[in-house]
Structure 1
Amino acid sequence: MHLVNDDNTFNIHEACRLGKYEEVKTRILSNNRLLTTRDDVGWTPLLIASSAGHAQVVRLLIGRGAHLNAQNDGGHSALQYAASKDHHEIVSILIMNGADVNIQDKYGATPLHRAASKENVRSMNHILQCNMCSMNLQDSEGNTPLHLACEEERTAAVQLLIEHGAFTNIVNKAQKIPLQMSSSQSIRRLITSIDL
């Protein structure tokens, strides 16, 4: 069954959302311009496939030349969605193909901000192993990924960030360092042991 738009053309976005590899492949091969089609809020096929967790479709789209760092209307990238949902295989695929690990959305959040706030450690590992990663970037509120991991009390994420050298003394717009974002004793111990 072919998925169609109102005008009877193939709905590449819906096929990517559903992970319909053969459907996507057939249509992309016949019309490579579908790679750059956007829906009404700016989502490209790669953004959709990455968010939905369809690694095979992601590989196909990248192999055909999809723009790795395309952003939707909210400024979100494929890597941000994959990191946020811990689709760690897709995170790895995107990074290995040159996706920008420091890309920021309209709120200044990077893929690492998204992964750290949800304690998606497998995705964080892929991002942190990339030598281009700037782990101390601040979002629009001045929060680093470490601030968010502390605030959400994500102990494993805090530990991983600290092990990779995250700064513990950056002050956000509320004049707080990461330690002040958490009431968890284990997180507070982790950070104070570094600062001693």
Structure 2
Amino acid sequence: MSVVTMAGEPAQQLRAAAIAGDTAAIVELLNNGAKIESRDDKGRTALMLATRHNRVNAARVLIEAGADVNAKDDINDSPYLYAGARGHNEILALTLAHGADLASTNRYGGTALIPAAERGHVDTVSMLIAAGVNVNHINRLHWTALMEAIVLGQGGPAHTQIVALLLEAGADPNIADADGITPLQHARQRGYTTMAQLLEQAGGR
């Protein structure tokens, strides 16, 4: 898809180019004055759309041109938060290198680390821990990343590794859910033996 064949105003064309991953069109449109932070009817910028479609090169061009990695859409996703939640690690690395707001939260009041832990994205969790995201942040459900890895994971190797990574990074094993049930109690209830052992070793009760 070239700039010439794209319909709509330059801002629409820019977003279409981002979805298509057409870096040449993105560069040309930006050089011709297309507004980099223009939004669609759901509040999504070109960078947000590139991120949703995991168009790494398009995201790189937009970020290097100054696109805001923290610009939130109508459902409180930003390129940084979405890349973290979905395990789009190449784009996540770009956002972390260009001012990602580590304390920003999604519509559930959670940091990028919480959905990454829930979905079993081991490398993403490592990246976010290394970047300095608060491992003990509590979302609106009163769950931490540690809690989500246990309650919403399947107890398999990826989620077990994430539990280990979080505990090594200083996650508090005794932050209970809204009902007062601790991570260790949840792990035991589900028969997640290795997770339970890790929690016990970290002082979980």
Q: TM-score, normalised by structure 2?
A: 0.87
Aligned residue number for residue 174 of structure 1: 179
The 3 A distance-change label for structure 1 pair 158 and 14 is same
Instruction: Provide the secondary structure at the position in 1 that maps to 2:202.
Output: helix
Aligned residue number for residue 95 of structure 2: 94
Q: Compute the displacement of 1:167 (Å).
A: 0.8
For 1:83 and 1:181, the matched residues in 2 are separated by 25
Q: How many residues align?
A: 194
Matched, 1:31 2:33: yes
Contact 1:80-1:114 within 8 A present in 2 as well: no
Contact 1:10-1:27 within 8 A present in 2 as well: no
The 3 A distance-change label for structure 1 pair 107 and 9 is closer
Aligned residue number for residue 117 of structure 2: 116
The 3 A distance-change label for structure 1 pair 54 and 91 is same
For 2:201 and 2:117, the matched residues in 1 are separated by 20
Q: Compute the displacement of 1:58 (Å).
A: 1.4
The 3 A distance-change label for structure 1 pair 26 and 6 is closer
The 3 A distance-change label for structure 1 pair 194 and 14 is same
For 2:37 and 2:49, the matched residues in 1 are separated by 12
Instruction: Provide the secondary structure at the position in 1 that maps to 2:125.
Output: helix
Task: Give the superposed CA RMSD.
Answer: 1.8
Matched, 1:141 2:149: no
For 1:8 and 1:119, the matched residues in 2 are separated by 38
Tell me the percent identity. 26
Matched, 1:159 2:164: yes
Aligned residue number for residue 58 of structure 2: 57
For 1:9 and 1:46, the matched residues in 2 are separated by 12
The one-letter code sitting in structure 2 at the alignment partner of 1:135 is: V
Unmatched tracts of structure 2, length 5 or more: none
Aligned residue number for residue 18 of structure 1: 20
Match 2:201 to one of 183, 193, 196: 193
Q: TM-score, normalised by structure 1?
A: 0.91
Contact 1:37-1:44 within 8 A present in 2 as well: yes
Q: Compute the displacement of 1:96 (Å).
A: 1.2
Unmatched tracts of structure 1, length 5 or more: none
The one-letter code sitting in structure 1 at the alignment partner of 2:162 is: A
The 3 A distance-change label for structure 1 pair 124 and 16 is same
Aligned residue number for residue 4 of structure 1: 6
**TM-superposition CA deviations, 1:55-103 (whole Å, max 9, x none):** 2211211121111211111111111211222111211111111101221
Contact 2:51-2:79 within 8 A present in 1 as well: yes
Contact 1:19-1:54 within 8 A present in 2 as well: yes
